[in-house]
């Protein structure tokens, strides 16, 4: 039970402070479970990052679930996933209530002014540590560079990810088979909830709609937006375009997984029961998929082709994180204060092993203070 309590503490904290999207979440998890606590090493962490990128669903939440399994087996799996989701669920639920009740949500964008550069610094520091493991040869280095370029040019994330994995796998298999064959390869409006007293199976349809999305969705928050629009705006007509955009905005300005946008949408449609069912529905496939993944991830490195594919995916996944970080940096480092916050955070991570909660908390206070002046 001691390990489960530790898992609960770590992921409740991360779920409360994890602003910045999946790249930031992954960086914070690496800081906590690899660098500060030593649950696993960087090689194992990278393998888990690569593995969860191969299945649908919110990658950072799935990584949290898998890290919980690594530390506390099945109890840890459930505890880590639930605790990472819970803080964001509660925050989004409160904002959804305020939205339905008052037609607006409390302004929190100003708070992110100081938090964003700190998040960028946390991600950069994680990339520095992980790239030394992921980019261990000229091949994975070349794949990483190509992946960053492809991402910044607008390439599809999933195609880049699988392309990197397949390229490294092909070269590794060809290299191994060369001696045997003698040849190789060359290379915001408001209103009352739509169903204040749902009947006739609407709640079941709501749950199944989010379950379907959670089971098949790959990609970024913009892909989630497309799925939600197709299901709940176009097909069912339960919310408007404006309400959907407000829901996504709330998901972006609260910590934890962006998929808690489902909580906001569910509340708009059917109040508290809708919020709970939407959240359970969209995250349930992640728990099931990671539970299946735990049975095969240890076997991936047993064969040349699968190990090569995973190494390629690892390098490409970090390249995608780097591409996202470049974009975040452009938006976050906007003046001398934000640059100074990022620089100080990098120095502190280099010289100390402070919990990332301290960096986020200090940045939040600076942002609030600046807004009040």
pLDDT of 193-248, one tens digit each? 555 445 457 888 899 999 988 887 765 555 577 678 878 888 888 888 778 777 77
The answer to whether residue 321 sits within a structural domain is yes
DSSP code for 198: -
The answer to whether residue 298 sits within a structural domain is yes
The answer to whether residue 283 sits within a structural domain is no
The answer to whether residue 126 sits within a structural domain is yes
Q: What is the mean pLDDT of the chain?
A: 80
The answer to whether residue 209 sits within a structural domain is no
Q: How far apart are CA 184 and CA 167, in angstroms?
A: 14
The answer to whether residue 178 sits within a structural domain is yes
Q: Considering the entire predicted model, what is its pTM?
A: 0.69
Q: How far apart are CA 236 and CA 234, in angstroms?
A: 6
Contact between residue 89 and residue 263 where contact means Cβ atoms under 8 Å apart: yes
| Domains contained in the chain, number | 1
Please name which of 358, 291, 372, 371 lies closest in space to residue 36, comparing C-alpha atoms.
358
Question: Mean pLDDT, to the nearest integer, of 178-195?
Answer: 45
Q: Which two tokens stand for residue 254?
A: 């609260």
Query: Could you tell me where the DSSP H helices lie in 294-355?
Result: 304-332, 336-351
Residue 166, domain extent: 2-184+291-372
Please name which of 84, 80, 154, 151 lies closest in space to residue 317, comparing C-alpha atoms.
151
DSSP code for 229: I
Contact between residue 247 and residue 261 where contact means Cβ atoms under 8 Å apart: yes
DSSP code for 200: T
The answer to whether residue 267 sits within a structural domain is no
The answer to whether residue 189 sits within a structural domain is no
Q: Which residues contact 348 (CB under 8 A, 6 or more apart)?
A: 354, 359
Polymer length in residues for the chain = 373
Model confidence at 191, pLDDT cuts 50, 70, 90, reads: very low
């Amino acid at each position: 039970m001691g390990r489960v309590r530790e898992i609960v503490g770590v992921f409740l904290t991360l779920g409360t402070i994890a602003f910045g999207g999946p790249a930031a979440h992954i960086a914070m998890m690496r800081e906590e479970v690899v660098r500060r606590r030593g649950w696993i090493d960087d090689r194992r962490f990278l393998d888990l990052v690569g593995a969860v990128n191969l299945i649908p669903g919110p990658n950072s939440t799935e990584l949290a679930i898998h890290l919980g399994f690594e530390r506390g087996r099945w109890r840890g799996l459930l505890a880590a996933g639930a605790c990472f989701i819970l803080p964001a669920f509660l925050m989004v639920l409160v904002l959804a209530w305020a939205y339905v009740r008052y037609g607006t949500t409390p302004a929190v964008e100003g708070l992110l002014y100081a938090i964003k550069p700190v998040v960028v610094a946390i991600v950069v520091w994680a990339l520095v540590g992980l790239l030394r493991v992921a980019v261990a040869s000229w091949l994975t280095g070349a794949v990483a560079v190509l992946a960053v370029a492809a991402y910044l040019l607008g390439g599809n994330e999933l195609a880049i990810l699988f392309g990197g994995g397949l390229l490294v796998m092909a070269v590794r298999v060809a290299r191994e088979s060369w001696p045997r064959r003698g040849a190789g390869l060359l290379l915001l409006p408001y209103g009352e909830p739509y169903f204040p007293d749902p009947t006739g199976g609407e709640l079941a349809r709501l749950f199944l709609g989010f379950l379907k999305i959670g089971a098949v969705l790959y990609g970024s928050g913009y892909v989630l937006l497309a799925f939600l629009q197709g299901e709940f705006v176009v097909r069912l007509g339960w919310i408007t375009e404006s309400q959907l955009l407000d829901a996504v905005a709330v998901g972006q300005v609260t910590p934890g997984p962006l998929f808690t946008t489902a909580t906001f949408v569910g509340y708009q449609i059917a109040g508290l029961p809708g919020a709970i069912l939407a959240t359970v529905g969209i995250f349930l496939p992640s728990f099931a998929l990671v539970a299946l993944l735990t049975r095969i991830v240890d076997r991936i490195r047993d064969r040349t082709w699968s190990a090569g594919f995973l190494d390629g995916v690892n390098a490409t996944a970090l390249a995608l994180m780097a591409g996202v970080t470049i974009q975040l940096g452009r938006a976050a480092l906007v003046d001398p204060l934000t640059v100074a916050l990022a620089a100080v955070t990098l120095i502190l991570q280099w010289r100390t092993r402070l919990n990332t909660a301290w960096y986020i908390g200090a940045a939040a206070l600076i942002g609030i203070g600046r807004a009040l002046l």
